[in-house]
Chain A
Amino acid sequence: MAEPSTKIIPLLKDELDIVIPTIRNLDFLEMWRPFFEPYHLIIVQDGDPSKTIKVPEGFDYELYNRNDINRVLGPKASCISFKDSACRCFGFLVSKKKYIFTIDDDCFVAKDPSGKYINALEQHIKNVLTPSTPFFFNTLYDPYREGADFVRGYPFSLRGGAPTAVSHGLWLNIPDYDAPTQLVKPLERNTRYVDAVLTIPKGTLFPMCGMNLAFNRELIGPAMYFGLMGDGQPIGRYDDMWAGWCTKVICDHLGLGVKTGLPYIWHSKASNPFVNLKKEYKGIFWQEELIPFFRSAVLPKECTTVQECYIELSKQVRAKLGQLDPYFNKLADAMLIWIEAWEELNPPADQPIVPAK
């Protein structure tokens, strides 16, 4: 258990769910106990549903295996991946909270350069509760951090910032490299602690890694669909990339911000690069088409909700990427099923459900 140096005040205790996809075990939770215990966990158990995954004592949680996913979603369960951490988005679907923090089961508490354990969840919360600055780059990074501010030349009219939808954290030790890079540099470890949080400018795409991620579910939840990966699919390890590109395009359209940088976690497990290469293989070629697609994606101004934006995106995926591979038609279908499932499980309290266009 990572003993924190100061007393922890669990912010957003009743407004945040921690979603953890797992196929192995949840031993890693022991180290996170002081930081996670006050929060509700949603465990998404991938793989064999007959296996029992033990959750350490003292945690408040709900656990879903494949049978549960099928029971909750019925035929719509087809949009949730099997044998891939992409299944985590099922947790986002069933959560009833405003904020989500998702983390992989091979991610541990990291230490900052002074040797203190890093409360990653606390930093994510700070990130999502303070504004982002997507419209103009601040050279001193996040101006809302203690000890920082907007630099000279930053227009005052932009200093209110934009609401933060996503907080993307980083990893010490095993960096999130693709298979070719892992093969060329198997021993490289990320030891550089970059003490910054920054907003990714509007109009710029980035590779969103799902292993240390938080977001405001009310602002951007429906865009956090992790696609069709794993068993029975031609591609793997692009789930979070897909979700990230869709999310960024929609955030840019709706004037929401995406932050990246702190907090760091300690990523302990290097996956097998040969296995990864097989999974990523198609993705490496396809992303050369996907990037121009997302960079040029324009959402009509009539799309004012995330769901509307996402449905529109799925149409564009079908129209423009369908010819790249029939997989993208399947994916476009799955995107629509996801939104249907989202609407069903998250009916808006005061608004009528927007009919799919």
Chain B
Amino acid sequence: MRTPPSLLSLTIDLALHNLSNISDLSPVPDHILLDLFLRTLRAGKLTEKVLKLFMATGKDEVLSLIEALNIQHIVIPVLPTTNIKDAEVDIVIGALHSDLTAFLNEWKPVFSRFHLIIVKDPDLLEELQIPEGFNLDVYTKSDIDQVAGSSTSILFSGYSCRYFGYLISRKKYIISVDDDCIPARDANGVLVDIVAQHITNLATPATPFFFNTLYDPYRKGADFVRGYPFSMRSGVECGLSCGLWLNLADYDAPTQALKPEQKNSRYVDAVLTVPAGALMPVSGINMAFNRELVGPALLPALRLAGEGKLRWETVEDIWSGMCVKVICDHLGLGVKSGLPYVWRKERGNAIESLKKEWEGVKLMEEVVPFFQSIQLQRSATTAEDCVVEMAKTVKEQLGQTDPMFARAAEAMVEWVKLWKAVQSS
């Protein structure tokens, strides 16, 4: 007869099973701690977070074991346990800076498993510098001209170059981040894997029809609260995932100029669905989407006359984001906002930007009421149909007030044509 496991052994196994819920191992006696560490290794559960937990105890035996085994502090993140295959993801970077070495190296622990699409801003003259160790494709002005034709290629200058990446990608999920952002660290000092979080956001349902006060009900440790109708608890598919930014938040030039010292240091540990019917500013700095569901709706259309190479000199993403939200609301898809965070580096001078026209700020006053009132026809059942209809409405209603909107409407039409052409080739 097999000797049953001891109570101590069972306890250690239970602790191993619940490691993610343990925040402090220092009270654990040395020999038990060592045993737990060895079992953790054997079970393949040593993540960066868990390693920190053991190291924080300061216990000599464990520390010398870590040293002896040459365990590196920065560990490649544990493979996410979602059902997404890496092959379903493209990471698209719009390169507005030529030297991407530091940027890509910072992101290596998170990006190295995936295919990257780097699109060089056609206005950027210098050659791109890209470090080794990535699976990537680079697209430059000549590629853009070839695919889009030189007349339409105007769509893709500046920050809008990233849309070219969305256009030629063949993957289901796109994750897009600006080239002046690096990985953030969460409240526990752990590196934030934006790919894993965005994928989780996109792969779990959204809940746009009723607000859950405990935020994302599908997150571990959370659920729907009392009073949430049961018929709505299966949620809907998520089309867009909007992340946030620590350090330099995505403020407009006037706000940034007024508060030059203000840095965003608040890590809000939540993902939530932005309710249907509610609009919001979608920032292009850190976002992801389901290309199969909403691809055509992410479009380069609204270009300011004085558009520049700093985010607060553009509104292209805000316009695109409104289109996506309206379309998602119409198609019954969800949009999430919140985690993951990136760390956005400071650059640019907001006051200098203010000296240029703050066209974008003025335009919002018209843009927002327009999108709030737009109604799409029931016959529009795909993102493409919706964009076409929207372009018509933009031309009719806003085109009269400012030629910029008329151009935006044209750009939307061009974009859909291009999208259809590229998809079918």
A contacts, CB < 8 Å to B: 113, 136-141, 147-158, 168, 170, 175-178, 181, 185, 188-196, 198, 200-209, 237-238, 240-241, 244, 260, 280, 284, 287-288, 291
Question: Whole-angstrom distance from the CB of A256 to the nearest CB of chain B?
Answer: 16
Given the known inter-chain contacts A170-B214, A188-B223, A291-B210, please indicate yes or no for A147 contacting B265, CB distance below 8 A.
yes
A177 to B221, CA, bound (A): 12
Tell me the bound Cα distance from A191 to B244 in angstroms.
Answer: 22
Residue of A nearest to B362 (CB): A156
Nearest A-chain residue to B224, judged by Cβ: A181
Residue in A148, A192, A196, A287 whose CB lies within 8 Å of B227: A287
**Do residues A155 and B278 form an inter-chain contact, with CB atoms below 8 A?**
no
- Among A113, A149, A241, point to the contact of B255 (Cβ < 8 A): A149
- Interface CB pairs A-B, < 8 A, 11: A136-B278, A136-B279, A137-B278, A139-B280, A149-B251, A153-B318, A155-B364, A188-B223, A195-B268, A237-B226, A241-B227
Q: Which residues from chain B contact A137 at a C-beta distance below 8 Å?
A: 274, 278-280, 337
Interface residue B86 (Cβ < 8 Å from any Cβ of A): no
Q: Which residues of A contact B268 (CB under 8 A)?
A: 141, 194-196
Chain A contacts for B283, CB-based, 8 A: 139, 151-153
Contacts of A156 in B (CB 8 A): 361, 364-365
Q: Is the CB of B364 within 8 A of A154?
A: yes
How far apart are the CA atoms of A291 and B207 in the complex, in Å? 14
Within 8 A of A (CB), among B302-330: 311-312, 315, 318, 321
Min distance, Cβ A210 to any Cβ of chain B, angstroms:
11
Q: How many A-B contacts are there with CB distance less than 8 Å?
A: 174
- B208-236 vs A, Cβ < 8 Å mask (1 yes, 0 no): 00111111000101111111111110000
Listed residue (A153, A155, A168) with the most chain B CB atoms within 10 angstroms of its CB: A153
Judged by a CB distance under 8 angstroms, whether B242 is at the interface is yes
A149-B262 contact given A194-B268, A194-B269, A207-B228, CB 8 Å threshold: yes
Q: Is B381 an interface residue (CB 8 A)?
A: no
CA distance A110 to B278 in the complex (A): 32
Check B252 for interface membership: any CB of A closer than 8 A: yes
In contact, A153 and B315 (Cβ under 8 angstroms): yes
| A203→B226 contact, CB < 8 A | no
Contacts of B251 in A (CB 8 A): 149-152
Question: Which of B222, B266, B280 interacts with A195 by CB under 8 Å?
Answer: B266
Given pairs A153-B281, A188-B223, A194-B215, 18 additional interface contacts (CB within 8 A): A136-B278, A136-B280, A136-B281, A137-B279, A138-B281, A149-B259, A153-B360, A154-B252, A154-B281, A156-B364, A156-B365, A170-B214, A177-B223, A195-B267, A207-B210, A207-B211, A207-B212, A260-B211
Please tell me if B187 contacts chain A, counting CB pairs below 8 Å.
Answer: yes
Nearest neighbor of B366 in chain A, beta-carbon distance: A155
A113, B189: Cα distance in complex, Å: 14
Annotate B281-295 by CB proximity to A: 1 below 8 A, 0 otherwise. 111000000000000
Given contacts A150-B255, A201-B275, contact A193 B365 (CB under 8 A): no
Interface of B is mostly: loop
Min distance, Cβ B88 to any Cβ of chain A, angstroms: 26
User: CA–CA, A110 to B51, complex, Å?
Assistant: 29
Query: Chain A binding site: helix, strand, loop or mixed by DSSP?
Result: loop
Instruction: Please name the residue on chain B nearest to A149 by beta carbon.
Output: B255
Within 8 Å CB of A139, what residues of B? Answer: 242, 244, 280-281, 283, 337
Chain A residue with minimal CB distance to B267?
A195
Q: For residue B252, which residues in chain A have a CB less than 8 angstroms away from its CB?
A: 151-154
How many angstroms between the C-alpha atoms of A178 and B368 in the bound complex? 38
> What B residues does A191 contact at CB under 8 A?
221
> Are A148 and B364 also in contact (CB < 8 A) when A168-B213, A200-B211 are?
no
| C-alpha gap A337/B143 in the complex (Å) | 73
Cβ–Cβ < 8 Å partners of A284 in chain B: 230
Chain B residues in 8 Å Cβ range of A168: 213
Task: Please measure, in the bound complex, the distance between the C-alpha atom of A2 and the C-alpha atom of B230, giving whole angstroms.
Answer: 38
6 A-B pairs with least C-beta separation:
A153-B281, A207-B227, A201-B278, A137-B280, A153-B318, A204-B275
Q: Which residues of B contact A195 (CB under 8 A)?
A: 266-269
Residue in B215, B244, B312 whose beta carbon sits within 8 Å of that of A152 in the complex = B312
CB distance from A120 to the nearest CB of B (A): 16
Which chain B positions have C-beta within 8 A of A241? 226-227
Least CB distance, B55 to chain A, in whole angstroms: 20
**Which residue of chain B has its CB nearest to the CB of A196?**
B268
* Smallest beta-carbon distance A304→chain B, Å: 23
The contact of B264 among A140, A178, A208, A238, by CB within 8 Å, is: A140
Residue of B nearest to A157 (CB): B365
A21 to chain B minimum Cβ distance, whole angstroms, is: 17
| B249 contacts A by Cβ under 8 Å | yes
Closest A residue, CB atoms, query B270: A194
Interfacial chain B residues near A260, Cβ < 8 Å: 211, 213
Which chain A residues lie closer than 8 Å to B267 at the CB level?
A: 195
Report B-chain residues with C-beta under 8 Å of the C-beta of A140.
244, 249, 264
Q: What chain A residues lie within 8 Å of B250 (beta carbons)?
A: 151-152
Bound CA–CA A337/B259 (angstroms): 52
- CB of B231 within 8 A of CB of A288, answer yes
Q: How distant is the Cα of A136 from the Cα of B275 in the complex, in angstroms? A: 11
B277 contacts the other chain (Cβ, under 8 Å)?
A: yes
State how many angstroms separate the Cβ of B336 from the closest Cβ of chain A.
11
| Residue in A147, A185, A201, A238 whose beta carbon sits within 8 Å of that of B277 in the complex | A201
Docked-complex contact A192 and B223, CB < 8 angstroms: no
